[in-house]
Amino acid sequence: MTADCGTLRRNTANGGAGTLQLRSDNGLVFASQRHTTVRAYGLQQELITPHSPQQNGLFERFVSSLNEERMADRFESTSHARDVIGRWLRHYNTERPHQAVGYQAPAQLAAQLCKNQGGVTAVNG
């Protein structure tokens, strides 16, 4: 998951390891100059069909969870909001069970996959 409201995945359509692909909606943040550097990092950008949030379900679920669990909070400042949401995001990735991955936290799943594949992986948070 990226902080800028998209989903990062590996495109393996042609077999092999594939390139990393950033799947996102067509919001202004993804049309900005900042995101024109996506290719500089070796990423491909895939935009969903306009007005089709079901095509970006992973992100839509994340936003729904964030709204349900944290947006009722009253923030005193931008830094307070960043602190509260940052702690929630770490909890979301490292402790909170997710139904889609067998009621494990994403960090637990990543650790299992890493151990099974003998590689190294990281979970943002």
Domain regions of the chain by residue span: 1-55, 73-125
**CA 38 to the chain's CA centroid:** 15
pLDDT in tens, 28-61: 555 565 555 566 666 777 778 877 877 777 777 8
Residue carrying the six token digits 């409201």: 5
Q: Are 111 and 117 in contact (CB under 8 A)?
A: no
Residue carrying the six token digits 């889609």: 100
Which pLDDT belongs to residue 104? 92
Contact partners, residue 119, CB within 8 Å, separation at least 6: none
What percentage of residues in the chain have a pLDDT greater than 90? 10
Which pLDDT belongs to residue 103? 93
Q: How many residues does the chain have?
A: 125
